[in-house]
């Protein structure tokens, strides 16, 4: 004997299934479509952010290479995340410097080598100061010089106070998740990546 499900009940079940799927996806924090920032990567190749990363889930880490504490922890965390991903082929890791004056492409390349980062998975970017600052403002990242001194040789040394964050951008260039960059457990961020995939 066949039982027919009333059309109204079918519609309700369908609507509930859509609601369940949409609730499982993180809310959009910021849509970056229409934004475009011309940057340079560690090889001095031009990068257009975020367009060049469209189609991949992108893990964004915000650092500067002269940082004595938080930034190395953020970078190490990103590396751990990449190593815990079971299928990393559709995920790109991007390090964005707060300090474009000192963090030239060659400095970023050296920094990546110190952490033994795979250049197939990782890209570190810099650019002119106004472009980088504009991009950081768009991403709600703050960074400012907190202490500065001049050495006997006339060199200026400074450190920066900055946002401690790793962000996830989906395949459609939308920021979806944000984490404490140095403290969040890699497995929690991997879980977020898998949700966006």
Check if the beta carbon of residue 37 is closer than 8 Å to that of residue 49: yes
The helix (run of H) or strand (run of E) holding residue 162 is strand 156-162
The helix (run of H) or strand (run of E) holding residue 190 is helix 186-196
Residue range 157-172, pLDDT digits in tens: 899 999 999 999 999 9
pTM of the model: 0.86
Query: Residue 15's CB: how many other CB atoms inside 10 A?
Result: 10
Cβ contacts of 71 within 8 Å, gap of 6 or more:
63, 64, 65
Cβ contacts of 120 within 8 Å, gap of 6 or more:
none
C-alpha angle with apex 77: 183 to 104, nearest 5 degrees?
A: 115
Measured CA to CA, the distance from residue 172 to residue 174 in angstroms comes to 6
Res. 6: pLDDT tops 80: no
Res. 184: pLDDT tops 90: yes
C-alpha angle with apex 112: 107 to 116, nearest 5 degrees?
A: 150
Res. 31: pLDDT tops 80: yes
Res. 83: pLDDT tops 80: yes
Would the CA dihedral through 28, 161, 48, 58 be positive or negative? negative
Measured CA to CA, the distance from residue 45 to residue 52 in angstroms comes to 12
Measured CA to CA, the distance from residue 18 to residue 11 in angstroms comes to 11
Percentage of the chain exceeding pLDDT 70: 88
Secondary structure in 3-state letters for 4-71: CCCHHHHHHHHHHHHHHHHHHCCCCCEECCCCCEEEEECCCCEEEECHHHCCCEEEEEEECCCCCCHH
Check if the beta carbon of residue 115 is closer than 8 Å to that of residue 153: no
Residue range 62-77, pLDDT digits in tens: 999 999 999 999 999 9
Out of 6-20, 56-70, 107-121, which region has the weakest mean confidence (pLDDT)? 6-20
Res. 2: pLDDT tops 60: no
Residue indicated by tokens 């998740």: 177
Res. 88: pLDDT tops 90: no
């Amino acid at each position: 004997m066949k039982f027919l499900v009333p059309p109204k009940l079918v519609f309700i079940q369908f609507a509930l299934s859509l609601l369940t799927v949409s609730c499982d996806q993180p809310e959009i924090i910021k849509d970056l479509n229409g934004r475009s920032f011309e940057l340079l990567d560690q090889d001095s190749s031009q990068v257009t952010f975020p367009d060049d990363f469209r189609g991949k889930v992108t893990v964004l880490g915000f650092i500067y290479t002269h940082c004595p504490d938080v930034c190395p922890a953020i970078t190490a965390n990103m590396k751990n995340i990449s190593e815990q991903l079971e299928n990393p082929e559709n995920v790109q890791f991007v390090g964005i410097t707060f300090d474009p004056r000192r963090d030239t492409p060659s400095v970023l390349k050296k920094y990546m080598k110190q952490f033994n980062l795979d250049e197939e998975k990782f890209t570190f970017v810099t650019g002119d100061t106004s472009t980088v600052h504009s991009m950081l403002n768009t991403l709600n990242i703050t960074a400012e010089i907190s202490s500065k001194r001049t050495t006997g040789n006339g060199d200026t040394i400074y450190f920066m106070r900055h946002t401690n964050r790793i962000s996830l951008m989906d395949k459609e260039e939308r920021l979806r998740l944000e984490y404490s960059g140095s403290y969040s457990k890699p497995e929690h961020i991997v879980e977020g990546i898998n949700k966006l995939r």
